[in-house]
Structure 1
Amino acid sequence: MWSGSADAPPTARIAMLAPSLHPTERRVAESIASDVEAAIERTAQDVADLLGVGRASVIRTSQSLGYSGYQQLRVALVRELALGSQTTSASEGAVMGALRTMIERFSDRLGHTLSALTEESVEQFVRVVDESQRVLVVANGLSLPLGLDLALRLISAGRPAEYLPDTIGQQISATQLGAGSACVVVTGSGANRASLEVMTAARESGATVLVITCFPQSAAAKLADAALIVAPIDDTFRDELVHTSRAALMLVTEFVVELLVSRRGDRARVAQAATLSMLSRSLSE
């Protein structure tokens, strides 16, 4: 099931694939992610006995994560620990200590965000956005601010984009896109019903559907013509929903726009100069 980079660390793969795994495999994967050091010391049979599942389930889980077997997964876990840094525990009640711990944890996992991206997927994404006649940007729920930010960044780069906060308006606009246009959807979970309905409408109109999401086996990723999979900072699908961190998604959308600017060359630079000129006039002394 894993189709990202071969260098992607195991915990990043688990975070992205866990929602789509068979329940038994999900138990195995989440058990491994919850205690990596213990998983390294256990055999496949040890894990099976601990969880009350068959040894074959442990092997299948490893294969679903992109490894030939549990031994290879253990080696990858060792490598991940060796490359990672340890964060310091925050003292109970120390607000700054807690904040520092969270930021350090985010920093440690930031490298994971690119682990599922490929040269082909990023190139296709940027090319479609650049060459499309119309671009509709869609985001709902907790991803909504990212959609607005992305649309404004595209516009400032000389790539006109449409953004509608109303879900009915999004669907109406999507039905009228047609061939040669693109619908760009930002959805952390990949399961937002309103966004999925817009994607379906855009596909039926003949438009190319692009998505930026955290989970490669999500409904949104499967529905899209091209997907940028951004590994979530949080360890599990539940964490992603509870903590709702969109920081990694925001970083990737910003840098995708920078790639678009590079591709568009002088057209983008002229547009950005005009944007900066307008901004300078809007500032007071």
Structure 2
Amino acid sequence: MTERVKETFGGYGTGAPPPAPAALAAKVRTLAPSMTRSVQRVAEAVAEDPAGCAALTVTGLAELTGTSEATVVRTARLLGYPGYRDLRLALAGLAAQQRSGRAPAITTDIAVDDPIADVVAKLAHDEQQTLADTAAGLDTTQLAAAVSALAGARRTDVYGIGASGLVAQDLTQKLLRIGLIAHAHSDPHLAVTNAVQLRAGDVAIAITHSGATGDVIEPLRVAFERGATTVAVTGRPGSSVTRYADHVLTTSTSRESELRPAAMSSRTGQLLVVDCLFVGVAQRTYEAAAPALAASYEALAHRHRSVPR
């Protein structure tokens, strides 16, 4: 284990500012699967009834959820607040937003017998919610640091498996179109053998919603120990992948259901982060990026003109 390995698993309470009230519900949805059941009960209570919980003391909320005062305080800190008093203030703000109609509605699951028009409406709502939650919870300081590293990188490797592998390909294709050297790896053996070649000045990005995909964590670990700047795009900010990440970009997802698996909903948030990275890099490298984009557009247009119809 090198000195760069972090002592803590991402998370909060590391100097980052508390989340805004609008981001509270999104943070609960993101962290809920990794919470203990007692902490989850408190988190779900504050997300479902912020006005009611804002009126409760720490003792009252503990009694409501069948937990302890220590669990309530621990939940507040896990969600990014220094203490329960700060969480109550955020709950009051969220309640005010709900009363004004600016807070998002609760996602409705898709049923097997839903008409196709309802499926379209529900999926559109879920996609919008995931995008809004990801934007609200995205640490722009971490994002800016990742953009700076990418803009000056000698080479960028991106690791992803399954649906996350498609997102990895999307990012590398975007970077290639503005003249940067980038490779997407979905084969774990190729990922590791390529990671060995990385060094300081290179960037490695791991995309994994669970944060626990070994085939993605291992090449990131190798890149980390070789001195490359490492980035994790994950829906679990306290997961194992963050141990080897210099920068953590957190995505959100709507509730998983039988007809909407996590891989499907998590991809939406990942693609937003990828687009933010790409646009940020294109801004930083605009003098070189603009001509490269123009050249790629012209090459594609020429190909279409040359193909017989």
Q: Under TM normalisation by the shorter chain, which class is it?
A: 0.7 to 0.9
Cα displacement string for residues 129-167 of structure 1 (whole angstroms, at most 9, x for unaligned residues): 111212111111321100011111100011111223311
Cα displacement string for residues 108-136 of structure 1 (whole angstroms, at most 9, x for unaligned residues): 45322122333421221111111121211
Matched, 1:165 2:165: no
Cα distance in structure 2, aligned partners of 1:147 and 1:44: 43
Q: Identical aligned pairs, as a percentage? A: 25
Q: Where does residue 91 of structure 2 map in the other structure?
A: 74
Moved more, 260-269 or 21-30: 21-30
Q: Where does residue 145 of structure 1 map in the other structure?
A: 166
Cα distance in structure 2, aligned partners of 1:38 and 1:242: 34
Aligned residues: 284
- Within a 5 Å distance, the mapping from 1:93-108 to structure 2 comes to 93-108=114-129
Moved more, 79-88 or 233-242: 233-242
Cα distance in structure 2, aligned partners of 1:210 and 1:132: 13
**What TM-score, normalized by structure 2, do the two folds share?**
0.80
**What TM-score, normalized by structure 1, do the two folds share?**
0.86
Moved more, 45-54 or 33-42: 33-42
* Alignment check: 8 A CA contact 2:130 2:265 kept: no
Shift of 1:26: 2.5
Matched, 1:259 2:286: no
* Alignment check: 8 A CA contact 2:50 2:92 kept: no
Shift of 1:100: 0.5
Closer, same or farther in 2 for the Cα pair 1:278/1:175, shift >3 Å?
same
Cα distance in structure 2, aligned partners of 1:260 and 1:241: 28
Task: Point out where structure 2 has 5 or more consecutive residues left out of the alignment.
Answer: 1-11
* Alignment check: 8 A CA contact 1:5 1:118 kept: no
Moved more, 94-103 or 148-157: 94-103
Indicate which of 199, 219, 227 corresponds to 1:178.
Answer: 199
Closer, same or farther in 2 for the Cα pair 1:190/1:87, shift >3 Å?
closer
Cα distance in structure 1, aligned partners of 2:244 and 2:104: 37
- Within a 5 Å distance, the mapping from 1:144-223 to structure 2 comes to 144-223=165-244
- Within a 5 Å distance, the mapping from 1:1-285 to structure 2 comes to 1=12, 3=16, 6-7=19-20, 8-34=22-48, 39=53, 44-67=58-81, 68-69=83-84, 70-81=87-98, 82=100, 83-86=102-105, 93-230=114-251, 232-235=252-255, 241=262, 244-283=265-304, 284=307, 285=309
Cα distance in structure 1, aligned partners of 2:24 and 2:261: 17
Q: Any idea what SS the aligned residue of 1:185 has?
A: strand
Moved more, 154-163 or 82-91: 82-91
* Alignment check: 8 A CA contact 1:12 1:235 kept: no
Q: Any idea what SS the aligned residue of 1:221 has?
A: helix
